[in-house]
A = this chain, B = another copy of it.
Amino acid sequence: MNHRLLAAAAALALTAPATAQQTPPAAPEIPSPGEIAAAAPAKDWVAIAPSDLLVMDLAPGANGKPRRVVIQLMPAPFSQGWIGNIRKLAAAHWWDGTSVNRVQDNYVVQWGDATEKKALPEGLATVQESEYVVSGRAFPVRVVLRRQDRKDAYADAAIPLLGWPIAMDKDRAWPVHCYGMVGVGRNMSPDTGSGAELYTVIGHAPRHLDRNIAVVGRVISGIEYLSSLPRGTGGLGFYETEAERVPIASIRIATDLPLAEQPRFEYLSTESDSFAKYADARANRRDPFFIKPAGGADICNIPVPVRAVR
């Protein structure tokens, strides 16, 4: 996902007929953020363990082609109670035959059991609301706050850290709802959701959900199979008929797939020099298309580069 994003910002240009006679200026040597990431040495890329990948196969679309969505689960210390449940649900093949039931524009796509009657596997944990955040002691909070070159509207600091978008104050840290992040649907408090009902963000970062819902991962491949689905016409974007729902063929942890079918991905270490250059370039675009560097970027406009390993 992110790689296409990176390539993205270079041009909204279509040659405009009125100005086709103009000769574009010679391209300066300043690389785009995507070019910086692509040029990063192998040592700056971190392999994602297949045991941390959730592979969702939707039923084929109208054109008969497969629709595979790959989700990277968050590492400890974040959200591990829910993620343990998700591993159990996948091992039990619980999602097979469930569906995508809700697509709300500029908000979320949600999937799970539309009947709300399917029994959950035994042994799922009930996770406490306190688990929406982790202790700030696990993080170099003071260092981060000191280097707070980027302002955040929602927290004392929000930076890409350990491969993920993380917000924090001096006592706590928590994962951030950026585009493509995956969270756990829940009922009213004190319910925190089991992990059986999941959603991903398909619009502007709904950061008001941070610390109110568990964030458990992010879509790293195939989000277009979710984000381009027809919007639901019911309340909150729920599909109103069975026919509209998109069947889920299966959801598995990648290590439960045959070895040859296991997807392989890696992300650009957020602690690498390459990432620092990439993040600076996201905040200060000086590649040829741009005339005015922004001088800053919010956390969700600095997506962590992820790429498939071939």
- Residues on A lying within 8 angstroms of B by beta carbon are 1, 4-5, 7-20, 22, 24-25, 101-108, 110, 112-113, 116-120, 124, 126, 129, 132, 150-154, 178-180, 183, 185-191, 193-194, 196-197, 199, 203-213, 223-224, 227-231, 235-237, 282-283, 285, 288-292, 294-298, 300-301
Contact = CB atoms under 8 A, between A and B. Distances in A.
A206 B296 contact: no
A151 B119 CA distance: 45
Nearest to A180: B106
B14 A116 contact: yes
B289 A16 contact: no
A15 B154 contact: no
B301 A16 contact: no
Given A18-B194, A19-B191, A153-B151, A4 B105 contact: yes
A236 to B, nearest CB: 6
A120 B19 contact: no
Contacts of A154: 294-298
A12 B108 contact: yes
Contacts of A188: 13, 24-25, 288-289
Contact of A228 (B178, B230, B297): B230
B203 A203 contact: yes
A5 to B, nearest CB: 6
Contacts of A300: 204
Contacts of A223: 105-106
B13 A186 contact: yes
A218 to B, nearest CB: 12
B120 A236 contact: no
A187 B19 contact: yes
Contacts of A129: 291
For the complex of A and B, 5 pairs with smallest distance between CB atoms: A24-B188, A153-B296, A224-B231, A151-B151, A153-B298
B210 A15 contact: no
A116 B17 contact: yes
A117 B13 contact: no
Contact of A231 (B118, B126, B207, B228): B228
Contact of A112 (B14, B20, B208, B224): B14
A186 B12 contact: yes
A186 B15 CA distance: 7
A229 B227 CA distance: 9
Contacts of A187: 13-16, 19-20, 22, 24
B301 A205 contact: yes
Given A15-B187, A297-B208, A227 B151 contact: no
Given A17-B116, A106-B179, A204-B178, A11 B236 contact: yes
B294 A17 contact: no
